[in-house]
Amino acid sequence: MADVRLAQHDMTACLAAFTTELRTVTQALDPEDGWFAAFARRNGEELRAWLTGRELPPWDAVADLLQDLAGRHGTLAAEQMGRRVRAAHQTAVRTQDALPGSRELLTRRLAEIDRTERELHLRDRQLAAAEDVARRAGQEEDAERFAGLRLWARDDQERMLSRRAEIRARLDALGADPGEEAREAPAAVPAPAPAPAAGAARRRPRGARFAGLDEEAAPGAAPVITADPGTETAGAPPLRGSRFAGAVREERKPEPRFSLTPRDRQAALDLAERLRQLRADGMDGAAHVVLCEAASGPPEQLPVLVAEMERTGMISDLTTLLWEAAALPPDRLALAAEALAEAGRERDCGRLLRQGAARPAGEAGTIAAELWSAGHGKEAVTLLTALVRARTAEEAARAAAPAPDVVVPLLLDAARKVSPSHHYAVTSELRRAGVA
Q: What is the pLDDT of residues 188-242, one digit of tens each?
A: 333 333 333 336 333 333 333 333 333 333 333 323 222 232 333 222 323 223 3
Structural contact between residues 43 and 180, judged by C-beta atoms closer than 8 angstroms = no
For residue 422, which of 245, 159, 236, 161 has the smallest C-alpha distance?
Answer: 236
Q: So what's the pLDDT on residue 214?
A: 33
Mean pLDDT is lowest, of 21-25, 122-126, 379-383, 397-401, for 122-126
pLDDT of residue 17: 93
Over range 297-306, report the average pLDDT.
94
Distance CA 327, CA 372 (A): 20
Burial track 332-347 (b if 16+ CB lie within 10 A, e otherwise) = ebbbbbbbbbbbebee
- Give me the percent of the chain exceeding a pLDDT of 90: 33
Lowest mean pLDDT among 100-109, 209-218, 291-300: 209-218
Residue 1 has a pLDDT of 55
Question: What is the Cα–Cα distance from 45 to 36, expressed in whole angstroms?
Answer: 13
Which of 11-20, 69-78, 181-190, 309-318 tops mean pLDDT?
11-20
Pairwise CA distance, residues 149 & 213, whole Å: 8
- Give the per-residue pLDDT at 284: 76
CB neighbour burial string for 256-270, b if at least 16 within 10 angstroms, e if fewer: eebebeeebbebbee
Q: 434 pLDDT band (50/70/90 cuts)?
A: confident
Selection from 358, 356, 189 nearest residue 288 by Cα: 189
CB 78 within 8 A of CB 199: yes
Which of 193-207, 320-334, 338-352 has the lowest average pLDDT? 193-207
pLDDT for the residue 32: 83
pLDDT average, residue stretch 105-129: 89
What average pLDDT score do residues 257-276 get?
A: 90
Residue 25 has pLDDT above 60, yes or no: yes
H helix intervals, 186-329: 199-202, 245-249, 262-280, 284-295, 302-311, 315-326
Q: Which residue has the higher pLDDT, 245 or 269?
A: 269
Q: How far apart are CA 166 and CA 63, in angstroms?
A: 13
Confidence check: pLDDT of 62 > 50: yes
Distance between CA atoms of residues 269 and 306, nearest Å: 10
Statement: residue 391 has pLDDT above 70: yes
CA separation, residue 330 to residues 65, 113, 167, 286, 380 (Å): 18, 32, 31, 26, 12
For 341, the 3-state DSSP assignment is helix
Out of 6-10, 224-228, 339-343, pick the least confident.
224-228
Q: What is the Cα 418 distance to its own chain's centre?
A: 19
- Report whether pLDDT(371) > 90: yes
Residues in the chain: 436
The one-letter amino acid at 102: S
CA gap 293, 290 in Å, rounded: 5
Q: What does the pLDDT read at residue 3? A: 66
What per-residue confidence (pLDDT) applies to 251?
A: 53
Mean pLDDT of all residues belonging to the chain: 78
pLDDT at position 64 is 82
What mean pLDDT comes out for the span 391-409? 90
Q: Can you tell me the mean pLDDT for 370-396?
A: 90
Q: Checking phi first, is residue 60 left (phi over 0); if not, alpha (psi -120 to 50) or beta?
A: alpha
Q: How far apart are CA 13 and CA 364, in angstroms?
A: 39
Pick the residue with more confidence: 267 or 152? Answer: 267
Count H helices, E strands: the chain? 21, 0
Rounded Cα–Cα distance for residues 299 and 352 (Å): 13
Average pLDDT of the segment spanning 266-278:
92
CA-nearest of 33, 57, 34 to 45 is 57
pLDDT over 50 (residue 14) = yes
pLDDT of residue 148: 74
- pLDDT score for 201: 34
Q: Could you tell me if 92 and 50 are in contact, meaning their C-beta atoms sit under 8 angstroms apart?
A: no
Banded pLDDT at 415 (limits 50, 70, 90): very high
Instruction: Note whether 367 and 360 are within 8 A (CB).
Output: no
Contact in structure between 222 and 127 (CB atoms under 8 Å): no
Nearest by Cα to 50 from 28, 29, 19? 19
- Report how far residue 66's alpha carbon sits from residue 76's, in angstroms, rounded to the nearest whole number: 11
- Whether residue 413 is predicted with pLDDT greater than 60 in this model: the reply is yes
What is the Cα–Cα distance from 109 to 94, expressed in whole angstroms? Answer: 17
- Supply the pLDDT for residue 241: 30
Specify burial of residue 190 (Cβ count, 10 A radius: 0-12, 13-18, 19+). Answer: buried
Spatial distance between the Cα atoms of 403 and 353, rounded to a whole number of angstroms: 18
Calculate mean pLDDT across residues 308-329.
Answer: 86
The pTM score is: 0.49
| Most confidently predicted of 292-296, 351-355, 371-375 | 371-375
Neighbour tally for 386: CB within 10 Å: 25
Question: For the residues of 342-355, what is the DSSP string, one character each?
Answer: HTT-HHHHHHHHHH
Query: Between vectors from CA 93 to CA 87 and to CA 96, what angle results, nearest 5°?
Result: 140
**Within the chain, what is the greatest distance between any pair of CA atoms?**
75
What is residue 97's predicted lDDT score, i.e. its pLDDT?
92
Minimum mean pLDDT among 159-173, 189-203, 231-245, 338-352: which range?
231-245
pLDDT in tens, 39-49: 888 788 999 99
User: Do residues 175 and 69 make contact, with C-beta atoms less than 8 angstroms apart?
Assistant: no
- Mean pLDDT within 311-339: 88
